[in-house]
Amino acid sequence: MSDIGRLCEPIPEVAIVSTKGLRMRTVDRLGVVVCGAMHCDRSSMVVGSNSAGPNWVESPSLCVLVETSAGTVLWDTSCPRDWRTRWEPQGGNLANPYDLVGDDEYLDVQLNNIGVGLDEIDYVVFSHLHIDHAGNGHLFKDTNAKLICSADEKEFAFGFDGPFAGGHLKRDYEDLSLETVSGDTEILPGVTLIQAPGHTVGSMAMQVDLEDSGTMIFTSDSVFLGENFGPPVAKPGFVTDLRMWFASVEKLRQIQERTDATMVFGHDAEQVPRLKRAPEMWYV
């Protein structure tokens, strides 16, 4: 298993002086790509939020494109077009149906509309390997992109018996050549992967430092909703290890407080309308 932290080229010195007087490296621009939405039972995101059967709510699916002088990163790959059949092994094309997506909202169409070719993406980073984050990893199978997840995530994702376990569908990633990171790792200037396990054993968040917009933290499913983050925190229903989850939330909170970061949560339908969305608007 390779470790991308050692494989990376030395990071070029592009330091600038931030408004706080701290030297920090920043990215060129960042685009939030909203690939439509799934339906999910709200109790999977906030425990105890339904009492009489499922409470179906909209669960938007986010990817993030980060452009830097040293390369382009795609954070997560959303859900696949063929989810109705691909997700059958979990019996779960009904559990989280990806049925709130327009023809122009699939990841490949959106990247095309942004004007970024698949072969122009240098790193595809999976926050974790669940079906709604690794679902389009296959698009990059034959490109030169480095495909990255955490070492703990890869170990789990290849280690269970059978085709599917709790959100991991081997078909999504078993043919991919996945490189790994362990520990918090700055993969490009201003782009840092943060270990934030709990939702899965190897979930990560991404910190991005921007010149005008400041620091942004993309939690992916380490924190589904602003409501989970609080304070006070609200426990998620769908979680692998609750103790790890609490520790990760407090770790992210410390980074947020230190950097005054904007938090962008994994599936927060209330937050998405307030985000700038590519290709019309970018964070710089």
Residue partners of 109: CB distance under 8 A and separation at least 6: 103
Min dist. Cβ of residue 94 to Zn ion (A): 16
Binding region for Zn ion (CB under 5 A) out of 94-102, 177-185, 186-194, 220-228: 220-228
- According to DSSP, the β-strands at 56-68 and 204-210 are unpaired
268 binds Zn ion (CB under 5 A): no
Min dist. Cβ of residue 101 to Zn ion (A): 14
Tokens of 126: 């999976």
Min dist. Cβ of residue 62 to Zn ion (A): 9
- Exposure of 16 in the CB half-sphere (CA atoms within 13 A): 13
Q: How many residues bind Zn ion (CB under 5 A)?
A: 2
Shorter beta-carbon distance to Zn ion: residue 180 or 222 = 222
Q: Which residues pair with 216 in a beta bridge?
A: 208, 262
Residue partners of 158: CB distance under 8 A and separation at least 6: 170, 174
Binding region for Zn ion (CB under 5 A) out of 21-29, 132-140, 180-188, 234-242: 132-140
Shorter beta-carbon distance to Zn ion: residue 132 or 268 = 132
Min dist. Cβ of residue 259 to Zn ion (A): 24
Q: Which of 76, 132, 172, 227 binds Zn ion (CB under 5 A)?
A: 132
Sign of CA pseudo-dihedral 33, 35, 37, 40: negative
Shorter beta-carbon distance to Zn ion: residue 70 or 101 = 101
CB neighbourhood size of 96 (10 A): 24
Residues 159-218 that bind Zn ion (CB under 5 A): none
Compute the distance between CA of residue 206 and CA of residue 179 in angstroms, rounded to an integer: 17
Q: Closest Cα to residue 130, out of 183, 92, 160, 172?
A: 172
Binding region for Zn ion (CB under 5 A) out of 50-58, 130-138, 168-176, 198-206: 130-138
Min dist. Cβ of residue 238 to Zn ion (A): 9
Shorter beta-carbon distance to Zn ion: residue 130 or 253 = 130
Residue partners of 211: CB distance under 8 A and separation at least 6: 16, 18, 26, 284
Q: Which of 67, 221, 227, 268 binds Zn ion (CB under 5 A)?
A: 221
Min dist. Cβ of residue 130 to Zn ion (A): 5
Residue partners of 20: CB distance under 8 A and separation at least 6: none
Shorter beta-carbon distance to Zn ion: residue 105 or 186 = 105
3-class secondary-structure state, position 59: strand
Could you list the residues that contact Zn ion (CB under 5 A)? Answer: 132, 221
